[in-house]
Structure 1
C-alpha cells in the first residue's frame, strides 16, 4: 500500500487591505477541482490523505505546519503533493544568495495573512528547504504552483490585472530553519518536481471557464491530465498544458517544469515511476501556430530549404516555414495533427554536410554518410560478430551491438556530439562573449589552473587514502547590459551532452550566479577509468546565451551504448529577432605523475 499525502492551498481572500493584496476569485475552485481529480483517479492499492487550506485557514503558519507535519508523513512508498493557488510575488534576494538568484530577485507565495502584522511572504528558498526535508523520506515529491513568479505577482481576472508589488527584503536570520544556507557549499539532496504557471517574468491568469472562475493554468493542466491519462509524464503534461493555453490565446504565460533538462521529467505524474522517454524535440501548437522547439540556437540553419522533420515512429511530415533562434515554424503536410497533443519529432533532412563514415554502408541520414575514397573520414567502423567498434577522428572508440540499427544510431549520436562541440555558433551575433565562466577550486586542496591556451586544468591529488578528484564551483557572470537566458551544456568524454549543471535560466545584467546552485562539482575521470598517473580526459562546457527563453531538450544526448557518462556529483505580434551566442570552455582533468 502507498499513500498520496496532498496539501492543497487555495487563497481568494487575503487579510491585507485590498489595495495592497487584491482578492482573487478562482483559487479555491482550483484546489476543489484538484481534490476531485485525486479522489476519482486513485490507482488500486493507493490511498489519499488530503489536507485542504482555503482562505482564512491558509495562514503562513498553517501552510508551513502542513508541509512539515502532513506531507512530512510520506515515506519511501508514498507521494507528497503540494498544490498552491493564489498570489505570488517577489522580494530582493539577500546579497549572500547571488549563487542561486541570477536576477537578484527571489520568488514568494502570499499566504492568507502575508503582509499583515509583520507576517512575511513564504520565500521560495524557505519552501525549497521544507521540500528537501520531505524528499529525504518520501518516495516522490511533486509541487504545482498556480501563481505568479514575476514582478507584480498577479493573476488576471477577466480584463483586469491584479498587482501585488514585490515584498520587502528580509534578514536571513528571519528565514525558516529548514532554509538552505545562502553562503558556502550546498550539499546535494533529493530532488522534487515542480510545475509552475509561468516564467518568473510573467503573470498568471484567471478566467471564467465553463461558467466558473479558475486559474487558467490549473484548468488547462487538469484538462491535459484527463486527456493523457494516468501514464502521463511530467514532460508530456507540460507540453499538453502549454497547448491548452495556446488554444485559448493565453500567450502571456508559459508554464514551466523544474528541474528542466532532467531525467526526472520522464517520470509519471505523481507516481515517481519511469515513463516513456521522448526525443527532446517536440511539435506543439503555440503562439505562431504549429512550432517545433528547435531553432538556430540548437544548430539548425537559418534557411529552411533542405530542412525537414517528421514524427518519430509515425513518419508524418511537416514543412519548415521559418527557423527562428529558439524554435521553428512548421506546416503539417498530408495530415491533421490534434492541437490538444504534442508530437515527438526527429530531423529527417539537414542541409549541412553530414559527417563521413568509413567501414559501414550508411543508409539515408541527416547526420552521417558513407565517405568517398578521396575525402577525410570522421568516423570509422570495424564490425565483429557480436559488436562494432566506432573510432572517431581523435582515436577515441565506442563499442556497440553489431546490428545496422545500433551502429547507425551510434554514428548519428557521435556526429551530433562533434557538431555541438565544434560547429554550433552564431557568427552574426552582436552579443560578443557576454557570459564570463569561472572555475573556482572548492577547497584549499583542490588544484585548478587556467593555462595560456585557456584550458582549465583540474588535477587529482594524492592522499593517504589514494587519488582524490578535484572539486570546483562554476560561476557565471553576465557582463552585458541586458537580461540573458543562459544554459551550460556539459559535453562529456563519453559523448554525452547534458544541461544539468545550469538548465536554461535568466541572469540579470551585470549579475553573477553559479552552476548547480553553488553546490560543489566533482571533476573526475569516467567511472570505469581508474585514476592512473598520466591519464586525462576533457569535458567541454558550452555556454549558450540568448535574449529570449529557449528549450534545452534538443541539445541533450545520452552516452553512447556501452559507455558510462562522466557524471557530476553534482495578442500576439511577431517578436523582434532574438540574438544568441555560444562560448566554449575545455576542462581537462588529469592524474599527475608522482615524482
Structure 2
C-alpha cells in the first residue's frame, strides 16, 4: 500500500532583528529536503513536503502547516516536523499557566515574526496541541528540533560557534493570544507535573522526538566543508547516508557520537536527546514505524578523555574485572545485520573491559584490531568475569544431551553461553531445565511450575530455544540482583521513592507491597498508584525506575528519555502524575493466575545514563494444567503484545556514583 510522508520543514536564518540572525538553518532544511527526495521518492512513498524558510516561517504559517498539511496524515502515513532555528522562552506568562510550569516559563520556538510587536512565540503548549491533533488518526510522527531554549541569548565567545537560542521574551502575553484555552490546559499539561523532560519539551500523543540538546544545553551551528550548518542536523544526515535502515536508537547513537567528535575539535559539548512516547518503541525504524528485531548490544566509541568506551556501565549490570578475569566483547561495524552477531567471521575484533564506571566502561582494544576514532561500532558480550547462573538439566537422555550441547554452542562462534552454565550438583543451580515427555520445562529450584510455556519436541532447534530462554531469564536475574557499589557516595535517603496508592495517605514503607482489586460501582478495579521521586540531596541526580515483570521483561516505561534529572530538592511525579495500574491480564486469569507482581528497580547516578540499554521483551505465558497449580505469587507486567499487559499509565573526567534499590508490588484478584 502506498504511504504518504507528510513533512513540514522550517528553517529560519534571516530574523527581522539583525542580532538574531543565523547562517546554517536554511542549509539544514535544504539538506533534509534533499535527503527525503532521494531516500523516500519511490513506489512505496508519496512525498508531500511543505517548506517554510525565513520570512515565510511565521508563527501563523507554522500553525497552518500543522492544521492544513500534517493533519491530512492517516494511520498508514508518516509525519515529520523538522525545525531549525532559534528556541527561546516566555517569562511573563498568564497567571492560569503558572501552576503548570515549575520554572514559571514557557519553552518556545522563535518563529520569524516572534520578536515583532504584536506577534508571539510558538509556545510548548501550543505545539503540544498541534501534535496531539495530528496524532488523532494515529500516523507515525517524528519531531526533530535543532534549536535550544535556554533563554539566555548569550553568544559563544568563539566566532566559529553560534548558539541557537534567542533571548527570553519578557513581554506580558495576553491569554487570548494562545491556541490553548484554559479548559485545555489540564489535558495538555497537568498540575501534578513538577519536572519536565530532559529536552524541556512535553508532547502528548504517540511520537518520536529527536532534539539537538538537553534543556540546559545549547544547540550549536558551525562551519563544515565551507558551509554553516547546525552540528546536530549535519551529523544526523551524515548518519543517514549509510545503506539500509536505522532504528531511532541506532540513529541517535550514531548522531550523538558524531556530534561529540565534531565539537571536541572545537572544545565544545552538546548532547542530543531521544524521547519516545510510548518509551518502549525505540526499535522502530526511522520515518517508518515498523518494528525492527530487538537485539541487545553496546555501542563503542572513542572518547577524548577516556579512550575507547562502551555506553554500558555499572547501572546496566556490566561486571568489573575480577582478578585476571574481565568482560570480553566482540566488535562489529555499526551497520552490521543483527544476524552477524552469531558469525565470528563478521566480527572485526575484540575488546576487554578495564574499568567500569556508572554509565560507561573503558576498553582495551585487542592489538590486532584496527578501529577508526572517527567511527562508532557495535559490541556484544562473549565472556564474563563472574560465574554464570547455574542450570541443572535432568530427565530424558535425548533431551538432556541436546540441551547440554546447545549450552556449549550458545555464543558467537559456537562458544559456551556467557549467561548460564550447566552444573552437575543440584545445590549449585539457580535454574532447572527438565526434559520429559518430549517437552523442555524451565523452572526454579524446589518449584514444579514452569516459568514459561514448555517447548515441545526434542530437536536441536528446540534445545537452542530452551537455552535462549534460560539466558533471557538469567539476564533478568542479573538486573534484579543489581546492587549499589560498596563505596557509593549516594546515600539511601538521597532519593525518596514513594508509591502513592489511590485512597491511601502516604507511601508504604515496606519493600514488599500487597494490594487487592477493589469493587467500585459494581466493577472490580485494579490497584493503582502514583510514583513520586524526590531528590533530598545537595547534588543533581539522574534517576530511572525499571519495571521487571513476571514474564522476565525489563522495561523503562516511565520517562521518555529513559531517565529524569532532579536538582536538589526537586520532585518528579512519574508520568506527570498519571496513575499506574497493576492488572492481572485476562489471559492469565483464564489460566487460573490470580496474583501478579512488578519489581520497580530505582537506579540513581550522578551522571546521565540510558536505562533503555537494559530492556528486554517478555517471554510467553506458561501453560496451566490445573487452577490449583498457581496458588503462589508470580511477577507480572507483560510486555508481549499478544499475551501480556502493562503496569502502565492509566490512559575533567568525573568518576560518577550510582545507587539502586527495589520495591515489589503484588496485585491480587479476590477469590470467586
Q: Given the two structures, how large is their TM-score scaled by the length of structure 2?
A: 0.78
Instruction: Check whether the contact 2:383–2:418 (CA below 8 A) recurs between aligned residues.
Output: yes
Instruction: Check whether the contact 1:426–1:582 (CA below 8 A) recurs between aligned residues.
Output: no
Instruction: Check whether the contact 1:2–1:47 (CA below 8 A) recurs between aligned residues.
Output: yes
What's 1:491 paired with?
A: 548
What's 2:423 paired with?
A: 371
What's 1:111 paired with?
A: 111
Instruction: Check whether the contact 1:88–1:153 (CA below 8 A) recurs between aligned residues.
Output: no
* One of 11, 20, 23 as aligned partner of 1:25: 23
| Residue 68, structure 1, aligned to residue 67, structure 2 | yes
Deviation at 1:476, TM superposition (A): 1.7
| Residue 232, structure 1, aligned to residue 246, structure 2 | yes
Q: Deviations over 1:190-218 (max 9, x none)?
A: 41111111222222121111211111111
Trace 1:318-337 onto structure 2 (pairs within 5 A): 318-333=351-366, 334-337=368-371
- Report the CA distance shift for 1:577/1:132 in structure 2 as closer, same or farther (over 3 A): same
Instruction: Check whether the contact 2:599–2:662 (CA below 8 A) recurs between aligned residues.
Output: yes
Instruction: Check whether the contact 1:151–1:201 (CA below 8 A) recurs between aligned residues.
Output: no
Deviation at 1:452, TM superposition (A): 5.9
* One of 288, 291, 295 as aligned partner of 1:274: 291
What's 1:193 paired with?
A: 208
* One of 180, 190, 193 as aligned partner of 1:183: 190
- Report the CA distance shift for 1:365/1:425 in structure 2 as closer, same or farther (over 3 A): farther
- Report the CA distance shift for 1:309/1:474 in structure 2 as closer, same or farther (over 3 A): same
Instruction: Check whether the contact 1:387–1:399 (CA below 8 A) recurs between aligned residues.
Output: no
Distance 2:593 2:508 in 1: 18
Distance 1:142 1:78 in 2: 11
Unaligned 5+ segments in structure 2 are 194-202, 332-340, 394-402, 409-415, 457-461, 623-637, 640-644
What's 1:245 paired with?
A: 259
SS of the equivalent of 1:438 reads: strand
- Report the CA distance shift for 1:454/1:562 in structure 2 as closer, same or farther (over 3 A): closer
Deviation at 1:534, TM superposition (A): 9.3
Deviation at 1:106, TM superposition (A): 6.1
Instruction: Check whether the contact 2:284–2:292 (CA below 8 A) recurs between aligned residues.
Output: yes
* One of 567, 580, 583 as aligned partner of 2:658: 580
Instruction: Check whether the contact 2:128–2:204 (CA below 8 A) recurs between aligned residues.
Output: no
SS of the equivalent of 1:415 reads: helix
Trace 1:146-165 onto structure 2 (pairs within 5 A): 146-150=146-150, 152=152, 158-162=159-163, 164-165=166-167
* One of 309, 312, 316 as aligned partner of 1:298: 316
- Report the CA distance shift for 1:260/1:191 in structure 2 as closer, same or farther (over 3 A): closer
What's 2:497 paired with?
A: 437
Distance 2:670 2:440 in 1: 33
What's 1:398 paired with?
A: 452
* One of 406, 409, 428 as aligned partner of 2:468: 409
What's 1:388 paired with?
A: 440
What's 1:47 paired with?
A: 46
Q: Which moved more, 1:163-172 or 1:203-212?
A: 163-172
Q: Which moved more, 1:52-61 or 1:149-158?
A: 149-158
Distance 1:172 1:337 in 2: 56
Deviation at 1:91, TM superposition (A): 5.5
Instruction: Check whether the contact 1:439–1:474 (CA below 8 A) recurs between aligned residues.
Output: yes
Instruction: Check whether the contact 1:458–1:523 (CA below 8 A) recurs between aligned residues.
Output: no
Instruction: Check whether the contact 2:207–2:277 (CA below 8 A) recurs between aligned residues.
Output: no
Distance 2:433 2:648 in 1: 33
SS of the equivalent of 1:399 reads: coil
| Residue 472, structure 1, aligned to residue 563, structure 2 | no
Structure showing greater relative contact order (alpha-carbon pairs closer than 8 Å, 6 or more residues apart): 1
Q: Deviations over 1:339-394 (max 9, x none)?
A: 56543322222223322211163433332222342734211111246542111258
Greater share of helix:
2
SS of the equivalent of 1:40 reads: helix
SS of the equivalent of 2:358 reads: coil
Trace 1:409-558 onto structure 2 (pairs within 5 A): 409-433=468-492, 434-442=494-502, 453-463=510-520, 466-502=523-559, 503-530=562-589, 535-558=594-617
Instruction: Check whether the contact 1:196–1:257 (CA below 8 A) recurs between aligned residues.
Output: yes
- Report the CA distance shift for 1:171/1:336 in structure 2 as closer, same or farther (over 3 A): farther
- Report the CA distance shift for 1:531/1:95 in structure 2 as closer, same or farther (over 3 A): farther
Q: Deviations over 1:210-231 (max 9, x none)?
A: 21111111111111111244x2
What's 1:37 paired with?
A: 35
What's 1:204 paired with?
A: 219
SS of the equivalent of 2:116 reads: coil
Q: Deviations over 1:412-457 (max 9, x none)?
A: 2212222222333222221213222222235x5xx79855634333
| Residue 97, structure 1, aligned to residue 100, structure 2 | yes
Computing the radius of gyration from Cα coordinates, the structure with the larger value is: 2
- Report the CA distance shift for 1:451/1:212 in structure 2 as closer, same or farther (over 3 A): closer
Q: Which moved more, 1:500-509 or 1:297-306?
A: 297-306
SS of the equivalent of 1:238 reads: helix
Deviation at 1:283, TM superposition (A): 2.2
Deviation at 1:405, TM superposition (A): 2.0
Q: Given the two structures, how large is their TM-score scaled by the length of structure 1?
A: 0.88
- Report the CA distance shift for 1:332/1:266 in structure 2 as closer, same or farther (over 3 A): same
- Report the CA distance shift for 1:62/1:23 in structure 2 as closer, same or farther (over 3 A): same
Distance 1:87 1:108 in 2: 9
SS of the equivalent of 2:529 reads: strand
Instruction: Check whether the contact 1:96–1:182 (CA below 8 A) recurs between aligned residues.
Output: no
Deviation at 1:246, TM superposition (A): 3.5
| Residue 57, structure 1, aligned to residue 36, structure 2 | no
- Report the CA distance shift for 1:335/1:532 in structure 2 as closer, same or farther (over 3 A): closer
Deviation at 1:477, TM superposition (A): 1.6
What's 1:222 paired with?
A: 237
Deviation at 1:13, TM superposition (A): 2.3
Distance 2:454 2:287 in 1: 35
